[in-house]
Structure 1
Amino acid sequence: MEIGDVTVEPLTDGVVPMPPNLLYPDVPMSVWQALPGVLDRHGMLQIPFGGFLATDRQGHRVVFDLGGGLAPQLLPGGELPPVRELLPERLEKLDCPLGSVTDVVLSHLHIDHVGWASTAGVPTFPRARHHIHAADWKYFVDGDADDAVRGKVAPLRDAAVLWEGGSVSPYDWLRLVHAPGHTPGASVALIESRGRSLALVGDLFHHPAALDHPHWRCGFDWDAPAAAATRALWLETLRATDTPLVGPHFPELRPVSLR
């Protein structure tokens, strides 16, 4: 993906089979069955997890979200995903060693987005600034929301850049916007360069099918009504600005246009 002077590459870390009613508990199975090619032969959604690498012409290398990491336990009582632990290899193929990453942006602090934040208690990306909304740090790291997440993210304490309020711009082409609901500090990353734009939406939407249904409740939302309101607002904004969007759970991590 070429967004003006910024190149964006998908970083698949793995794929996890998931029953649709775990992701969207209120949506009947018949709705999914009516969508061609969405379910596998077992009636499951094959949900990728991973992130994105954005590179600008000044040599900044920004990784957005970090997949599941080593031996990811992503679902309650679930088995290890059959496809997993791919993100470092993907970066290597893109000629991006872990030590060359300048920034990491975490859209929110769920386990399938922070898996490679640290390895054996040490930051996986040793030279990177890690941009995290302060509300999520307070809830997940300083609070007691999720021990697995805390174990992954707490080693970033000295490398974390905690931001507050509605938005922040680490670079002139990158704007992080607070989009609470899925978690307290969930955010959307807007890449804007030379009149082009792309929204990296984290878990604002898990599947393109939900773009027509922002009221669908996600089973992993921290505050379901707030999340629905945030989704509706962002759909309106992205349509008005003709901005494509993509999330780390979209099929093949491909962007979708709302036109």
Structure 2
Amino acid sequence: MGDFDNGKYVGGALPASLRAHGIEPGDVTDVVFTHLHFDHIGWATDRGEVVFPNATYRAHRADWEHFVTGPSADPHAVDKLTPLGSRLYLFDTDFTVAPGLDALHVPGHTPGSTTYVVSSGGRRALLLGDVVHSVVQLSERDWQVIWDVDPAAASAVRNRLADEAADTDDLLVASHFPGMRFGRVVTLDGSRRFVSVE
């Protein structure tokens, strides 16, 4: 969310957290957006200045057109993202960001929602963004959140990803899972469940 506190939502401290690990903003080469809701774009810019000046910022074109240039553009997204200018890379197909990191278009929560799949040595981790908002949605197939732009498409893609991951070694994490914990989808008594891993 960036440097943000409106009494209801409070942003994090991403640049400070990166610095604590020896990473300066200028060291970051790529930023990938799962979607362009306000709570996922906050550190793109800070008071009009690009936070990661050497990075390429990647977003799905459908989200850009929905939130930034479309008829129902979100003024917050316009303000936060327009300063990216030539640093912005819009994509409209699934693609490999870098070896071991693939972007998968999963529309529903937003038109350009993207899951990032990290793979290495035959194992995968799916960074779901808000495709799944709550672990309950992995058990309750029809459970919705009010923020899905297209609830039917969101439900379909969420269930497809959960079914594909069920009873495999695939790890999943979503932006709003408690503690952003990774876990697996397992089938217990005929129902899908999320089991976090330590």
- TM (norm. structure 1) is 0.68
Query: Structure 2: which 5+ residue stretches go unaligned?
Result: 187-198
What pairs with 1:4-83 in structure 2 (closer than 5 Å)?
A: 68-73=1-6, 79-81=7-9
What is the alpha-carbon distance in structure 1 between the residues aligned to residue 141 and residue 17 of structure 2? 32
Deviation at 1:201, TM superposition (A): 0.1
Q: 1:223 aligns with which of 142, 145, 150?
A: 150
What is the alpha-carbon distance in structure 1 between the residues aligned to residue 137 and residue 154 of structure 2? 13
Tell me if structure 2 keeps the 8 A contact 1:108–1:185: yes
1:175-195 Cα distance to aligned partner (Å, 9 max, x none): 000000000000100000112
After superposition, the Cα gap between the structure-2 partners of 1:84 and 1:141, relative to the gap in structure 1 and judged at 3 Å, is closer
Q: How many residues align?
A: 185
What is the alpha-carbon distance in structure 1 between the residues aligned to residue 12 and residue 182 of structure 2? 23
Q: Which amino acid aligns with 1:180?
A: P
The answer to whether the aligner puts 1:141 opposite 2:74 as a matched pair is no
Tell me if structure 2 keeps the 8 A contact 1:208–1:256: no
Tell me if structure 2 keeps the 8 A contact 1:72–1:115: no
Q: Secondary structure at the match of 2:130?
A: coil
Q: Which amino acid aligns with 1:69?
A: G
Q: Which amino acid aligns with 1:126?
A: P
What is the alpha-carbon distance in structure 2 between the residues aligned to residue 157 and residue 207 of structure 1? 34
Deviation at 1:137, TM superposition (A): 0.8
Deviation at 1:86, TM superposition (A): 1.7
Query: Structure 1: which 5+ residue stretches go unaligned?
Result: 1-67, 74-78
The answer to whether the aligner puts 1:177 opposite 2:110 as a matched pair is no
1:91-138 Cα distance to aligned partner (Å, 9 max, x none): 111211111011000000000000111112121110001110011111
Tell me if structure 2 keeps the 8 A contact 1:191–1:199: yes
Deviation at 1:240, TM superposition (A): 6.2
Q: 1:196 aligns with which of 101, 123, 146?
A: 123
> Higher RCO, 1 or 2 (CA under 8 Å, sep at least 6)?
1
The answer to whether the aligner puts 1:120 opposite 2:47 as a matched pair is yes
Tell me if structure 2 keeps the 8 A contact 1:71–1:80: no
Q: Secondary structure at the match of 1:237?
A: helix
- TM (norm. structure 2) is 0.88
Tell me if structure 1 keeps the 8 A contact 2:117–2:126: yes
What is the alpha-carbon distance in structure 1 between the residues aligned to residue 65 and residue 167 of structure 2? 33
Give the fraction of aligned pairs with identical amino acids, expressed as a percent.
Answer: 36
